[in-house]
Amino acid sequence: MSELIDTTEMYLRTLYELLEEGIDLRRARIVDRLHQSGPTVSQTVSRMERDGLVVLHEDRSLGLTQTGHDRAQAVMRRHRLVECLLTEVIGLDRVDVHDEACRWEHVISPQVEQRLDIILGHPRVSPFGNAIPYAHGQMPSDSAQHFRDDSEPLTSFLEGRTGLVRFRLVRMSEFFQATEPNLAMAERVGMLPGDVMAASRDDEAIAVRTTTGEVRFPEADAEGLFVTGADDQ
């Protein structure tokens, strides 16, 4: 299926993920996310800069142009609509949904996207709790800007708290989904957005406990779990 991957769109979606998570847009972050070499990333980013999709700032950070931002948002919209289709209609195992959507997102036409949105009932969030960007021209236009308005990473939520801390899971970031075996672990104990669960921290990991079991995530992965207080809706 590698022939279905559009490298430019893959990079744009990765930059959009970083925007959502409040992380500086830098080539090193793309290297981390896509597991590609530094020279490969630099070459691709340079091409995207020539194509008017990104700009390179004086501090070496990257920025999306309006064209780049619109295209990145469109890719993310298709990705999350497909996740809804795969989960709610096709019934694909949730563990496989993210990777499969990464393939479909590059080949869906605007006409199919529009029909998919209608068939699914105009969903506003993905099965993993992430906001589905509006279609171009609709408002609000930038889901990345508001990604963290209603939640924070589990790692920061636990700061200053000791023992077993209750929380409500709001969303699982794209980074969390893409990092194995996070989804398999989450599925094993029934972690779903909207559910209340509990967590504790030690020197090695963050343990998340649900009514069906407990799993442990490295700190870096737990940053991709966005949560709020257990009593918040």
61 and 101 part of one domain: no
Is position 1 within any domain?
Answer: no
Question: What pLDDT sits at residue 135?
Answer: 83
The count of domains in the chain is 3
160 and 213 part of one domain: yes
Question: What pLDDT sits at residue 230?
Answer: 84
Question: What pLDDT sits at residue 137?
Answer: 54
116 and 59 part of one domain: no
Tell me the CATH number at 94.
Answer: 1.10.10.10
Question: What pLDDT sits at residue 1?
Answer: 40
Which structural domain range is residue 202 located in? 152-229
Mean pLDDT of successive 10-residue stretches along the chain, which has 233 residues: 73 95 94 94 96 95 94 95 98 96 94 96 96 73 69 95 95 95 96 97 94 96 94 72
SS (H, E, C) the chain: CHHHCCHHHHHHHHHHHHHHHCCCCCHHHHHHHHCCCHHHHHHHHHHHHHCCCEEECCCCCEEECHHHHHHHHHHHHHHHHHHHHHHHHHCCCHHHHHHHHHHHCCCCCHHHHHHHHHHCCCCCECCCCCECCCCCCCCCCCCHHHCCCCCEEHHHHCCCCCCCEEEEEEEECHHHHHCCCHHHHHHHCCCCCCCEEEEEECCCCEEEEECCEEEEECHHHHCCEEEEECCCC
Question: What pLDDT sits at residue 232?
Answer: 72
Question: What pLDDT sits at residue 94?
Answer: 94
Domain termination site, one of 49, 67, 85: 67
Tell me the CATH number at 220.
Answer: 2.30.30.90
Q: What is the pTM of this model?
A: 0.91
